[in-house]
Amino acid sequence: MNLLSDRPANPTFVYVTLILCAVASVIASAWCIHIDDVINNDGVEYIRAAEQFAARNWAGAFAVHQWPFFSFLMWATGAALGTSYETAGQLLNTFFFTLSSLLFVGVVRAFGGTSQRLTALAALVAVLHPAFNEYRAFIIRDAGYLAFYLLALFFLAKSIQVWRWRYSVFVVSALLAASIFRIEGAVFLLSAPLLIMTARGENGGSPWTRLVLTVMAAAVLALVLGWWLIAPGGGAVANVAASSPLEVIGTAWHEITSSVSHKIAVLRTEFLGTYAAEYAWTLFVFAVIMILLSATFSQLTIPWALLTFGGLVVGVRFPHKSLNRIWLTLVGMHLAILLVFAVIKLFLAARYPLALAVTILILIPFALERVAQAIRWHELKTPARVLTVVLLLWAGGESISGLDNATRASAIKDAGLWLKDRATTPQSVV
């Protein structure tokens, strides 16, 4: 069996590839959990919310975490299997990350990568790239969001090959499931008409229809992000958002502009001083752009980003124009969401661009194929050979780093366990 053949992959080849990918994913999760046995900060909150669900204190669970469905799954899994909530969270994330790896291979195939070579390269990316491995030891809801986002993308791409209404239903259902893990899923869910029309391309109605859908999607995006912004402060609840959407959008806009104005004032008074105060807006815009770029490249990693840009420059594209439109639309929507977050918070957690990175990675197998076909090692000059080796080693090092996140907080865990055995009442020591 020639793994690098450009012949279409038969079902047996696909099944074997998926099985090997799943086994590698489970082993990677077990290894990452083994070397990092200290629970992450978010995981503590999810366990606290799961404990509230176990006590049938639904309001308490929402008070601990405003998006508590993952905690509900942890409670249900722990109750069903008789495990601790921490173990339940690790099992769920192992399942979701494994499912994400398999769905990534399916998405690449749905985007036209049906050959044995592209199927194998997609599985290789899903096994090696840090985006799939870096957070395997974490108890986070991002893995569930990523899995259902990829499922929606799979059906969206399949709808181009054979248009059926059931694919639209599957897309909406998958995005609905993604939205109960992260608010970004709700944004894509409410933008589903735009995505479906983009998938249908020229057969999806008039340009005016697509324009109206685009405006509607933008309005819904503003509504959801506005609700997300003001809900943590108790300024709005879901029923208010449903009954007075314009008021919510207006309030959200006021909160955003007030927050930005405060940041600009701080930059002027604390950083720039009197003589450079006029550059506050320039500094703010530069900071937001750098935060966005830094978080994105950190998640994607530089060598894989260079491969993506190189592939785009030399003309790597998906076989169908609608697939290119879908890919660009999704990348643009992810960047827009992250940009809004960066403007509001002036901060992006390292894992926020996870779905963006995985979306970009869909192009990587096609770029790798083009590179493999174009490069003739014996024809390369010495500088080109050195550069190729450096990039390969760099990419390999980044891949290993995703599986080498050994904990540095063992002493904190040991101290906490020591204190737990000796404390008379459960309370904070700070």
d(CA 154, CA 149): 9
Nearest CA-CA partner of 114 in 235, 6, 257: 6
**Radius of gyration (C-alpha) of the chain in whole angstroms:** 23
What is the structure's pLDDT at 220?
62
Q: How many helices (H) and strands (E) does the chain have?
A: 21, 0
Tell me the sheet residues that pair with 115: 8
d(CA 26, CA 22): 6
Residue 301 one-letter amino acid: T
Token pair 């399942």 in the structure block, residue: 95
pTM for this entry: 0.88
Contact between 110 and 151 (Cβ < 8 Å) = no
- The structure tokens listed for 155 are 């059906």
| CA 131 to mean position of chain CA atoms | 8
List, as one string, the DSSP characters of 317-379: --SSHHHHHHHHHHHHHHHHHHHHHHHHHS---TTTTHHHHHHHHTTHHHHHHHHHHH--GGG
Nearest CA-CA partner of 93 in 4, 163, 26: 26
- Cα–Cα distance list, 76 to 62, 142, 183, 246 (Å): 16, 18, 22, 38
d(CA 415, CA 430): 14
The pLDDT profile of the chain, 430 residues, written as one tens digit per residue, is 566 677 888 999 999 999 999 999 999 999 999 888 888 888 999 999 999 999 999 888 888 887 889 999 999 999 999 999 999 999 999 999 999 999 999 999 999 989 999 999 999 999 999 999 999 999 999 999 999 999 999 999 998 877 778 888 999 999 999 999 998 888 888 888 888 877 776 555 555 566 566 656 655 665 566 556 555 544 444 455 555 656 666 666 677 777 788 888 888 888 887 778 888 888 899 999 999 999 999 999 998 998 888 888 888 888 888 888 889 888 888 888 888 888 888 888 889 999 999 999 999 999 988 877 777 666 667 777 787 788 888 888 887 877 777 666 666 666 666 666 666 665 554 4
d(CA 140, CA 43): 6
Question: Residue length, the chain?
Answer: 430
Helix pair angle (183-190, 165-179), 10° resolution: 150
What is the structure's pLDDT at 234?
43
DSSP state of 68: T
- The structure tokens listed for 403 are 């599986």
**In degrees to the nearest 10, what's the CA dihedral of 115, 120, 125, 127?**
150
Domain ranges across the chain: 11-38+84-422
